[in-house]
């Protein structure tokens, strides 16, 4: 069982190998912060973990991958389309090894104070993550 959570403005994960009786917590990234608990995690068929969250400065999505069930994590990578200026509500799903899809609403409007700015829905996918 995997539970993503923000803690002290950083992305963390809690992992349970005994159906939730005990949990081990680990930090996903020291480099990219996390303003709240808007994150998602998915596992592929081999147990690789894909953790997505957005940073507090730009509110853009990041992806980190663990190939050892959450013990260690690779460097986070930005996954937003170039024109996207802010996102929210991240969701992730994984299937076969390396197959992942991440979806989120996002806007291309630079004026974040504009309450009428349009939002789009993005899907970012990889077959070899």
Quote the pTM value: 0.90
pLDDT of 37 strictly over 80: no
pLDDT of 36 strictly over 80: no
CA 30 and chain centroid, separation:
14
Tell me: the pLDDT tens digits for 38-67? 899 999 999 999 999 999 888 899 999 999
Q: What's the pLDDT at 29?
A: 95
Residues in the chain: 129
The residue to which tokens 């998602």 are assigned: 40
Tell me: the pLDDT tens digits for 105-121? 999 998 888 889 999 99
């Amino acid at each position: 069982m995997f539970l993503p959570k923000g803690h002290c403005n950083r992305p963390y994960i809690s992992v349970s190998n005994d159906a939730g009786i005990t949990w081990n917590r680990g930090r996903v990234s020291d480099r990219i912060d996390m303003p709240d608990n808007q994150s998602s995690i998915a596992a592929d068929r081999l147990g690789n973990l894909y953790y997505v969250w957005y940073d507090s400065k730009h509110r853009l999505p990041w992806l980190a991958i663990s190939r050892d069930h959450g013990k260690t994590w690779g460097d986070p990578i930005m996954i937003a389309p170039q024109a996207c200026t802010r996102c929210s509500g991240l969701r992730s799903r994984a299937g076969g090894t390396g197959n992942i899809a991440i979806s989120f609403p996002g806007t291309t409007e630079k004026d974040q104070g504009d309450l009428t700015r349009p939002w789009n829905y993005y899907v970012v996918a990889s077959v070899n993550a």
